[in-house]
A = this chain, B = another copy of it.
Amino acid sequence: MTDLAAILSRIGARIAEASDRGRVADYIPELAHVDPARFGIAVALPSGDVLTAGDAETGFSIQSISKVFTLALALGRLGDTLWRRVGREPSGFAFNSILQLETERGIPRNPFINAGALVVTDAILAGHPPREVLGEILRFIRTASGDERITIDRAVARSESETGHRNRALAHFMAAQGNMVNPVERTLGTYFHQCAIEMSCVQLAKAGRFLAGFDKMIAPSRVRRINALMLTCGHYDASGDFAWRVGLPGKSGVGGGILAVAPGRASVAVWSPGLNAQGNSKLGTEAMEMLAREAGWSVFG
């Protein structure tokens, strides 16, 4: 554990020096003014300890990382019937592509691209009031992280809604193809709010413990399957690259956060707001790569 602390501090030092920090997402105005110099990392261990470096207690918008939690919720509620509405294959396209929806008749390729995540949220909503369902999502995340302070940043949610034309296009497109159960704006509203959940690296690393197998919030067989999806689809069209470089199941968000797990060993959260060309945190990915290599964590041997 001394070693791990040293590794984290080395990573923090190296990231601080990086000159190319990627580009902060600017299509959601509220996210555009985050300082690209920020960086945090937190590692939750089986012992319950959480090691950190940098701004690990600072809250950021988890954005698409929320898709992991809504998927866990949806599987708990619907089981394998969910797969009638969404696939389990990497997409080969950008996170917000509408192209494949047309060729694949409104069934998104997987639950981690935007279209698929909209279907998952729509499936959880199922006629319930958005407020109630958002409460349930928050409850799930608070329980997972053991932290009741986690909330939604309503300014971010509003900002996403105002500029969310592409997600609206995806949702209406699926509605046209019969794959939306709720009124489109209701599903979108819920989705924009779930993406606007704010967490720190520490909170996120702790919330990922169930995926690392440290507690039994959900069945181990289901955990393995969510991890499989994170590994094959968690980084959009850079999922193969993340698997190659880091070797751990992970999920990124345009807020600059990444959650990854080394099964049985660690749940890790990093945050660096600048993104690479594929929309994943540039330095966050590099930090994950260093950590996995130096700690010897890889699911691949």
Contacts and interface: CB of A to CB of B under 8 A. Distances in A.
Contacts of A261: 301
A170 interface: yes
A255 to B, nearest CB: 19
A252 interface: no
Interface in A97-132: 97-103, 109-110
B172 A176 contact: no
Given A166-B173, A176-B166, A232-B239, A244 B299 contact: no
Given A93-B92, A166-B176, A243 B231 contact: yes
Interface string A207-237: 0000111000000110111011101110001
A249 interface: yes
A170 B169 CA distance: 6
Given A165-B184, A172-B169, A249 B300 contact: yes
Given A90-B89, A224-B247, A301 B99 contact: no
A59 interface: no
A43 B4 CA distance: 36
A92 B239 CA distance: 12
Contact of A243 (B175, B228, B241): B228
Point out which of A97, A166, A171, A244 has the most chain B C-beta atoms below 10 A from its C-beta. Answer: A244
**Chain A contact residues: over half helix, strand or loop, or mixed?**
helix
A91 interface: yes
Contacts of A233: 240
A220 to B, nearest CB: 6
A54 interface: no
Point out which of A93, A168, A212 has the most chain B C-beta atoms below 10 A from its C-beta. Answer: A168
A201 interface: no
Contacts of A241: 88-89
Contacts of A249: 300
Interface in A245-282: 247, 249, 261, 263-264
B89 A298 contact: no
Contact of A300 (B110, B227, B237): B227
A212 B301 contact: yes
Given A98-B98, A168-B169, 15 more contacts: A87-B240, A89-B92, A99-B99, A165-B172, A165-B176, A166-B172, A169-B176, A224-B298, A224-B301, A225-B247, A227-B300, A227-B301, A231-B243, A232-B243, A249-B300
15 contacts: A87-B240, A88-B241, A89-B239, A90-B92, A92-B92, A99-B99, A99-B102, A110-B240, A165-B172, A169-B176, A212-B301, A228-B244, A232-B243, A261-B301, A264-B301
Q: Which 4 A-B pairs have the closest CB atoms?
A: A92-B92, A263-B301, A90-B90, A165-B176
